[in-house]
Structure 1
Amino acid sequence: MKIAVDRAILLKALAHVQSVVERRNTIPILANVLLDAKDGGLSLTATDMEIAVVEEVSGVTVTRPGRTTAPAATLYEIVRKLPESAKIELDHPGGEAPLVLRAGRFVTNMLALPVEDFPSMTEGKLPVRFALPAGTLRGLIDRTKFAISTEETRYYLNGIYIHVAEIEGTPVLRAAATDGHRLARVEEPAPEGSAGMQGVIIPRKTVNELRKLAEETQEDVEIRLSETKAQFKVGGVLLTSKLIDGTFPDYERVIPRANDKILRVDKKEFAEAVARVAAISSERSRPVKLSVDRNHLRLEASSADQGQAQEELDEGNVEYAFTPLEIGFQARYLADITEQIGEKVEFQFADGSSPTVVKDAAKPEALYVLMPMRV
């Protein structure tokens, strides 16, 4: 294999693929990226056996077609530190010879492990196929991923659950995530081709990689699914992932249906007040107490070591016309949810000890449930 490529082109592709590589693993080939040079260009592949990323790279001059592997992190760091205008030549004569990289007067040799050892994840049938605009996909991810559980023992919560549901006979595509303390559920009109799809749990790492790729395009993202695997085509990048093999809980059962005390508050004023009163304590789990009365909201937090803080929001920023209520929430959870909301936050309470529904007053397609804390 022998190719020539501009540094900027190769660097962008390597940035996409090398991020899935686990730095520490017991299988040496998984630390490498597969380079496949053909007459039509170059493709780069990296995998950790749970996710695989394949990127087709254009703007490459192929002098001698061929395939080889190279250490992903090392190759990325070398290319990143080359001058911006550098022209890179990659040369591998075959066999057990090293891969040679040249750029101007710089030259380095890298160990090339056998191509035959590199695993393939992209094979297999994926019967469900549909497309989502990149902006819609970004919205689904951003408004749910903060609620993904990091508790490995409940592995079935370590991702976003995507499925098709019906609302009054109209199909919708739903994304949901929960860690047991909070729930995020977002829905969009079901795209053509998604009808009848089984619910799938997309792992946290895949969600993060997909979100980074979706940031770089405004085009549709092609999605293909089977019972065990998901594939996302984002521009010239193909992301393939195993799905979490588990049953996502029936989250609809925990969504309160009769919360009748409605508080609407200006998002910016509320978020800033939460941040200020929570600053009194360095404990991440310290609750912020909300005391609600007619068109009035008081926020309080305290710390045995630091003291106490409070702030009040009045009419103009607060709408509430029900009986007084006191309830506490973890400050970080409040911040995570309000970050996804536009201008006005809507809280739906039952009482001071029951789950609370939180919505964007202007965008009812996103719904959040937050468990209170004792204060």
Structure 2
Amino acid sequence: MELSIKRNDLLNPLQSVIGAIEKRQTMPMLANVLLIAEGNTLSLTATDLEITLQAEIQTSIKTEGQAALPARKLLDICKNLPESRDLHLDANDEKAVLKAGSSRFSLACLPADDFPTIQSITGASTSFPIPGSVLTNLVNRTGFSMANQDVRYYLNGLLLELDNTGLKAVATDGHRLAFCESPISLDIEDRQQVIVPRKGITELQRLIAEEEGDVTVTIGSSQIKVQTETKALVSKLIDGRFPDYNRVIPEESDNQAVVDRVEFREALQRAAILSNEKYRGIRLKLEENKLSLQAHNSEQEEAKEEMEVDYSGDSLEVGFNVQYLLDICNTIQTASLQISIQDPNSSALIRDPEISDVRYVVMPMRL
């Protein structure tokens, strides 16, 4: 395989697929990126056997072929070369030589034929186009609530639910829940639920972060594929039953407070400084048109904050994990938040007063 390419033209797709390369591998080949030169197209593939990332770029190819190069070394070399530099790559199953001006790098390769075969989507599959911005919005508004290495493995991912009314995304770690729906037209007869693992969601966010056009989503019995014009992600699905989120989301209460989001976030950040480092608890006290925040720690230090809010319900005092509240404040980008709490032992329902498609639930904690 022999080709010429601009430094940036190689760096961009390489950065798109590097997320699939783990720092520690069970197989030496998984540290490599597969380059396939065919026609005028160079395709790059990286995998950890759970997720696979692919990217394509048009370039000048002198000799067609394929090679498996050490991914992180190739990335570091490209990063440290001048931006406008022309690269010449000559690679086979044993060695790759990369030339850039007066620089020359010789890299050890592995046989390309030994690179893991990428499984195609199997089983009865569902495929549909969706604007990249819509999918990005769904994932960004919910992904932060996924569990991380929880023994309840089905919580270590994001639920995608499809039916003829649209697409829903739900994430929970057992202490909080994030829900977002997008009422798009999908030609689907039966409701379908799949759980995409945490790493697949993280790489999906990177893949479609700046995607302005449509992306194609294909869901099979054990895999999901998201395809843009030049990039693709294939991820295994978590085989498990996601909790019934409808039972977790409380009905709206008469005890509703509308707060300024930025002011509330800043008050939480200040109060959190003196919260217990392990439990991160903060006490919210709601009275007529007033919200008080209180935090304390084992060293008898205490923080108090007061702010004006729009509230005319019952007087309430309830504790929450301050980080969960901050995550919601950082995710919602509108001017105000609506907090609905039935009683001191109930979960809080938090949402944008003007948008019903996004809802957050935070369980109370005993302080």
Same topology, TM > 0.5 = yes
Amino acid at match of 1:313: M
Trace 1:63-142 onto structure 2 (pairs within 5 A): 63-92=62-91, 94=92, 96-125=93-122, 127-142=125-140
Preserved contact between residue 295 and residue 319 of structure 1 (Cα < 8 Å): yes
1:359 aligns with 2:348: no
The sequence identity of aligned pairs, in percent, is 38
- Counterpart-to-counterpart distance in 2, 1:185 and 1:201: 14
Preserved contact between residue 94 and residue 110 of structure 2 (Cα < 8 Å): no
Structure 2 residues without counterparts, runs of 5 or longer = none
Q: TM-score, normalised by structure 2?
A: 0.96
- Counterpart-to-counterpart distance in 1, 2:208 and 2:300: 43
Residues 149-182 of structure 1 show CA distances to partners (whole Å, capped at 9, x for unaligned) of 01331110111101135xxxx7131100000000
Pairwise CA distance, 1:117: 0.9
Residues 118-173 of structure 1 show CA distances to partners (whole Å, capped at 9, x for unaligned) of 112242346211122111111111111110001331110111101135xxxx7131
Pairwise CA distance, 1:194: 4.3
Residues 265-315 of structure 1 show CA distances to partners (whole Å, capped at 9, x for unaligned) of 11111111111111123615221111111111111111232611111112x
- Counterpart-to-counterpart distance in 2, 1:268 and 1:22: 37
Secondary structure at the counterpart of residue 134 of structure 2:
helix
Pairwise CA distance, 1:215: 1.4
Residues 63-110 of structure 1 show CA distances to partners (whole Å, capped at 9, x for unaligned) of 000111101111111111111121111102x4x431111111111111
Match of residue 180 from structure 1: 174
Preserved contact between residue 328 and residue 373 of structure 1 (Cα < 8 Å): yes
- Counterpart-to-counterpart distance in 2, 1:63 and 1:106: 20
Among 247, 262, 266, which residue is 2:241 paired with?
A: 247
Match of residue 184 from structure 2: 190
1:150 aligns with 2:148: yes
Secondary structure at the counterpart of residue 77 of structure 2:
helix
The size of the alignment, in residue pairs, is 365
- Counterpart-to-counterpart distance in 1, 2:338 and 2:279: 23
- Counterpart-to-counterpart distance in 2, 1:132 and 1:81: 37
- Counterpart-to-counterpart distance in 1, 2:251 and 2:324: 21
TM-aligned CA distance change 1:311 to 1:152, over 3 Å: closer
Amino acid at match of 2:354: A
- Counterpart-to-counterpart distance in 1, 2:46 and 2:33: 5
Match of residue 47 from structure 2: 47
1:19 aligns with 2:19: yes
- Counterpart-to-counterpart distance in 2, 1:118 and 1:196: 37
Secondary structure at the counterpart of residue 323 of structure 2:
helix
Secondary structure at the counterpart of residue 10 of structure 1:
helix
Preserved contact between residue 275 and residue 282 of structure 2 (Cα < 8 Å): no
The RMSD of aligned alpha carbons is 1.5
Among 208, 218, 240, which residue is 1:214 paired with?
A: 208
Preserved contact between residue 121 and residue 219 of structure 2 (Cα < 8 Å): no
Secondary structure at the counterpart of residue 217 of structure 2:
strand
Amino acid at match of 1:148: M
Preserved contact between residue 5 and residue 87 of structure 1 (Cα < 8 Å): yes
Amino acid at match of 1:286: R
Secondary structure at the counterpart of residue 210 of structure 1:
helix
TM-aligned CA distance change 1:122 to 1:87, over 3 Å: farther
TM-aligned CA distance change 1:194 to 1:22, over 3 Å: farther
TM-aligned CA distance change 1:262 to 1:77, over 3 Å: same
